[in-house]
């Protein structure tokens, strides 16, 4: 793989426990989850969906959306993200956008800033997180169920992205769509077919709710894990 992710959003962190996810998102159930600080595409990750007649539930799915019509599941390697500007129209995403939406919880995400150094461009990783240490982001996500020839069903997801807010603009030209809590119910409701209303949620979030700091380039390696991944660069060891 490349030295740093070439797509946005390419890495994120979720170190909240299942109990914390249940409390924060008012879930009726959630699978166990071990803290991760360097989650990459193709990982198994927890998402939140609405179970009709019951409520919000957590579920483990694959990050990298495989459309239900796909002949080769390898297409999911390229569909980690979906641009919010075109998601309602692109064949890979439009069905999921209409009926199969989810939340992807995160303690923060990473982005790589292009920095000129001695005539060359270096990619400096940043960790972007809620300004309130006790808060969590809820990325807007889509779901798809793909039936493998062997009979197994693979449920997969992708993260919707949008243009940058004022904080992100200095770091990167894209960011994940981070939904407000008052949008959760409408976003998750599979009976909500208000396409214009759904599109209206896919905007950059309030920059006042976010903070960012540079982190060690060690995060570039997908095998690196642990709290050191999110430690501010000036105190990293």
Per DSSP (E only), the strands in 52-204 are 55-63, 81-83, 101-106, 108-117, 120-130, 137-147, 153-162, 175-176
Catalytic residue among 9, 30, 158, 205: 9
Answer whether 29's CB lies under 8 Å from 123's CB: no
Q: Catalytic annotation on 111?
A: yes
- DSSP 8-state code for residue 80: S
Token output for 223: 């095998």
- The residue with tokens 């923060």 is 108
Q: Catalytic annotation on 9?
A: yes
Token output for 118: 């001695």
Token output for 87: 């998601």
Answer whether 142's CB lies under 8 Å from 102's CB: yes
What count of other Cβ atoms lies within 10 Å of the Cβ of residue 234? 7
C-alpha span between 68 and 141 (Å, rounded): 16
Catalytic residue among 30, 102, 111, 205: 111
C-alpha span between 58 and 103 (Å, rounded): 9
Answer whether 26's CB lies under 8 Å from 140's CB: no
Answer whether 94's CB lies under 8 Å from 69's CB: no
- Would you name the residues annotated as active-site residues? 9, 111
């Amino acid at each position: 793989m490349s030295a740093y992710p070439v797509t946005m959003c390419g890495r994120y962190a979720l170190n909240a426990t299942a109990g914390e996810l249940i409390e924060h998102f008012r879930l009726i159930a959630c699978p166990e989850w071990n803290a991760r600080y360097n989650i990459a595409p193709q990982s198994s990750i927890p998402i939140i969906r609405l179970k009709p007649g019951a409520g919000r539930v957590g579920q483990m799915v694959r990050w990298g959306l495989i459309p239900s019509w796909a002949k080769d599941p390898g297409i999911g390697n390229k569909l980690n993200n979906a641009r919010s500007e075109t998601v309602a129209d692109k064949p890979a995403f439009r069905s999921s956008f209409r009926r199969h939406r989810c939340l992807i919880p995160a303690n923060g995400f990473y982005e790589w800033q292009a920095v000129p150094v001695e005539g060359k461009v270096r990619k400096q990783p940043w960790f972007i997180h809620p300004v309130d240490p006790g808060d969590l982001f809820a990325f807007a996500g889509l779901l798809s169920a793909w039936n493998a020839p062997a009979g197994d069903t693979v449920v997969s997801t992708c993260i919707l992205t949008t243009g940058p807010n004022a904080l992100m603009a200095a770091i990167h030209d894209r960011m994940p769509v981070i939904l407000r809590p008052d949008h959760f119910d409408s976003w998750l409701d599979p009976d909500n077919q208000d396409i214009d209303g759904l599109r209206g949620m896919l905007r950059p979030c309030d920059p006042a709710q976010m903070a960012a700091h540079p982190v060690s380039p060690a995060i570039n390696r997908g095998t690196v894990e642990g709290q050191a991944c999110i430690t501010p660069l000036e105190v990293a060891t």
